[in-house]
Structure formats: structure tokens, C-alpha cells
A and B are shown apart, each in its own frame.
Chain A
Amino acid sequence: MQADTDARSLRLLVVEDEAIIAMLVEDALTMAGHVVVGVAESAGEALAIAARETIDLALCDVRLAENDSGITVARELSGRGVPCLYVSGNCPTAADHPLIIGCVGKPFATAALSRAVEAAHRLAAGERDVAVPKSMHVFARH
């Protein structure tokens, strides 16, 4: 039986260099029924995980360890067909790839995070009229 989109368990990559925040994100998403296939703290780790795992959506912090940029990671991943959602204290206001869906601002409400992830995934799949949490900013699509 095919689960509907809302209830589908998503395979997620978390790109976050603060261990405690990465744990918080992982727990919030796991409790909502999703699978976190990997947590990366740098661009190299993120791309290595993406090369070996199937990923439905990546959550990317903007500032990463080793002076890496989450924007570069999102650009690389979206180029490989992986939708991305920023989770950052300094949200970008736009993105240059349609699979970079938007941004959840830090600090975020834990309960709202899974709703943001599910909304981002549906938007990436081309759905319209998707309800997004207030804490999520969706980039204009050109």
C-alpha cells in the first residue's frame, strides 16, 4: 500500500556543525517518523554521504565547520537533484536553484521543523498551495 505524501517517511541529510543542534534536529525529525541517513558537519562529509545514500531532502546550516558554506553545499546537492532546505540563524533571502526551497530561521520551534521539512519536500515535488509553518521562508521560484 502506498502511503500518502503527508505520512511518508522521508530520508533526510542534516548538514550542521553544532553537535547539539544537529542532535536536536535529528531527534525532532526522527520522532516525526523520518529517517536521518546522515549528519555532516562539513561540505566534504555532506557530499560523501550524498554520494552513497538516497536522500529526499537535505537540511543545511549556512555556516559550517572548516569555514565551509552551506550555500555551496546546497548548490551542489540541488545540482544532483537533492532538494534542500536551509536551517540557519542568517537565512539567505533567495537561491539560485529551484530545488533550494527556502529557509527555517534559528531559533526554530522543534515541533514546527518536521512540518517545514514535509512542506519543503512537497514544494520540491511541484505541489502548490502547500501550507508552510510561519517560521519557514519559501524562496520565490523563477
Chain B
Amino acid sequence: MSEVERGPPSSHASPDAGAAPDLSRRYLALAAEAADRLLAATDPARMVDELFALIRAELRLDVFFNYRHDEGLLRLEAYAGLTAQQARDGAQLRLGEAVCGCAALERRRIHASGVQGSDDPHLAFVRSVGLDCYACTPLLDGERLLGTLGFGRRDSTGFTAEELQLLHTLCHYVALAKLRLRHEEELCRNIAERDRLLAELNHRVRNNLQMAVGVVRNELRGAGPVPPALTTVAERLELIALAHRPLYQADGASLAVDAVEILHGAVELTTGGEGRVEAAEPVMIPIEQAVAFSLLIHALLDRRDRAGARVAVARRAATLEARITLAAQDAAAPPLDRLASSLLRQLNASLSDEAGAIHLRFPLAHAG
């Protein structure tokens, strides 16, 4: 990017050769300190304020203007060294208007020197502010204009080449920091939007499952005699809904849910609150096995002495083991209907009668 000079030829010179190494070290230290602060910045306007406070003494600066590009206009986002009236006068620029408007339009750095002695109309505003030299840099992301940042002095006709180099470097850092903040803001906005969508979806799924149960229960209402098949449908639908409930608290990484919580729902529904679940600790199972497990337990308790039923569940290595006992009788696995047989096959489960209890065992899908 070339640099454009505005105003009469500058008479300012670089510092003498003997002072150069010391000056370079100071500028390097300033640039490093500025980079540190900009990397940690969280507010786009305040970070430029802080940068200005850091460099103003070393560079003898009186003023800075930081414009944000917003749909073809430059809006003053941060500034220092201006009266309130001057800030209002320069609050908004069109592209091509004044020094910063030109820097933005042409995507070029502009160094205006000898401003007070110039009659260039583009310099009218910085002249009115009392500046005699002014350097404005467009803040760019590739070719995309983010804004401009300009610094000025009242008591000097121009910046040295080293000063300009430092100012432009700092402006480049500011552009990167602003870009980072924009990306972070966009990311936060997208995450918040996704969270809202997920919460709405979650709410809809829960409500719709509950409504499906309601529709079936409504058909049972006042139907007499109640068709047994419809009762079973209603119960199974409720079981599916209940088995989904822990999904909403599922760990997103593993997509596993607690089989004990699912079992509590299934036993509560199947036994009318009279059954018991025994478990020493949570037993995490993959989501895809949860519904099948819940329906299978219901099938094994179906039309039995449900009230006193107890279901103990535990994980043994990579296998889930459920032990079902009934209050009034030795429990034996009932003849399985088509659905229960299919679920047993889906889970790759085994069923056995041992010591008056039904034992259901199946491998946990994520364990292997």
C-alpha cells in the first residue's frame, strides 16, 4: 500500500543516526506492549482509548479519531483530544469525505502535513480542529473496510517516517483486534441463536410427545369397555415419552443417559408407583438403547403382579444387568410377544429365570 502525502512538502526529518537504535528499541517496546493489550482487549472502543493513552506521550499526539465503517458511512466510534462540538461535527463521514473518508475510499494510508498552511478542502475538518499534521490508516480485513484510525498533532508540521511506520503498525494490530472481536461477537450471536433453537426444539419435542399421549388417552376417556390394545398403546407411548426425558439432560459428547432414571419412569408408570427400583449408582446407556430397554421392562412386567415388583439394575463390565422380582410369586420370564422379541433382538439381550427372578442382560453399545 502506498502512502499519500497531502499538504505542502514536509520539512521534518528523521532523528539523527546516533539516536536511531534507542528510538527503535522504544518503538519496538511500545509495539509489543500495544500488541499485548490489543490481544486481551474485549471492547473495540476502549481498546483504542487505551492504545492512545499508551502512545500519546512518546509520539506527542494530541488527537485520535477512530471511525467504524457501517453500510457505506464512517461513524466516529472513539476519539480523544476533541471538544464535544468537534466530535459532533465529525461524528459521521461519507466515503471520500475529509482525510479519513479518502483513506477509507481509496484503501490507502494518508499523511497530511502542514495542514494549517494548506487550503485543501479535504483537510478542512482536521484544520478546524487545530491539527497541523495528521496520519490516517484504513483498517482492513483483506479488501473489506472495517473503519479508519487517525492520529494528529497540533504543534508539528509532520510525522517522521519512523513515527508513521509505528502508527501504521499499531493500526494494523488494531484492525486485527477489531476483526477478532467481530468474529467473537458473531460466534456468540450464533451460539445464542443455536441455543434458542435447541431450547425451542426441546420444548416442542417434549410437548408433542405429551400431546401424543393426550390424544390416545382422550380416546380411552369414556370408552367402555376400554379396548386393551388402546390401553397398551397409551402406556407404551408414555414409556417412549418418559424414556426421552433424560435425553434433554444428556451429555452432548457421549449421548448417554441414565438407565436408572429411565427405569424409575418405567416402573412408576407400570406399577402405579408401587414398584421399586434398586440401583447403587447411575448406569449410563446409549440413547439408542434407552427406549428399547424401557419398553422391554414394561413388557416383562405386563399383566403381572406389578404392584410389588422390584427391579434392580447394575452395570457389570460392559453389560447392563436388570433383575426383576415380583412380590407374590416367583418371577419367570413370560411368553414374549412380537414387540418384546424384537426389542430383545435389537438389544442383543438374554433373558433367564434364576432363583425366582427374571434376569435381563445386554451389552452396552458404547462399551465395546
A→B interface (CB under 8 Å): 18, 20-21, 23-24, 27-28, 63, 89-90, 105-112, 115, 133-135
Contact = CB atoms under 8 A, between A and B. Distances in A.
Contact of B273 (A21, A90, A108, A112): A112
B206 A21 contact: no
Given A89-B207, A89-B210, 14 more contacts: A18-B210, A18-B211, A23-B218, A24-B218, A27-B221, A106-B206, A106-B209, A107-B206, A107-B244, A109-B238, A109-B242, A112-B273, A115-B273, A134-B264
B218 A107 contact: no
The majority secondary structure among interface residues of chain A is mixed
Contacts of B213: 24, 107, 110
B199 interface: yes
A107 B268 CA distance: 13
A19 B214 CA distance: 9
B114 interface: no
Contacts of A20: 211, 214-215, 218
The majority secondary structure among interface residues of chain B is helix
Interface in B196-254: 199, 202-203, 206-207, 209-211, 213-215, 217-218, 221, 234, 238, 241-242, 244-245
Interface of B: 199, 202-203, 206-207, 209-211, 213-215, 217-218, 221, 234, 238, 241-242, 244-245, 261, 264-265, 268-269, 272-273
B217 A110 contact: yes
B236 to A, nearest CB: 12
10 contacts: A21-B211, A24-B218, A107-B206, A107-B244, A109-B268, A110-B238, A111-B273, A112-B268, A135-B242, A135-B245
Contacts of A105: 245
A128 B310 CA distance: 26
A90 B210 CA distance: 13
A112 B213 CA distance: 14
A111 B231 CA distance: 13
Given A27-B221, A89-B203, A107-B242, A112 B269 contact: yes
A110 B234 CA distance: 10
Contacts of B209: 106-107
A89 B245 CA distance: 9
B241 A107 contact: yes
Which of A18, A89, A112, A133 has the most chain B CB atoms closer than 10 A to its own CB?
A89
Nearest to B243: A107
B268 A135 contact: yes
A109 B265 contact: yes
B40 to A, nearest CB: 34
A134 B203 contact: no
Contacts of A63: 203
A134 B211 CA distance: 21
A134 B206 contact: no
A89 B205 CA distance: 9
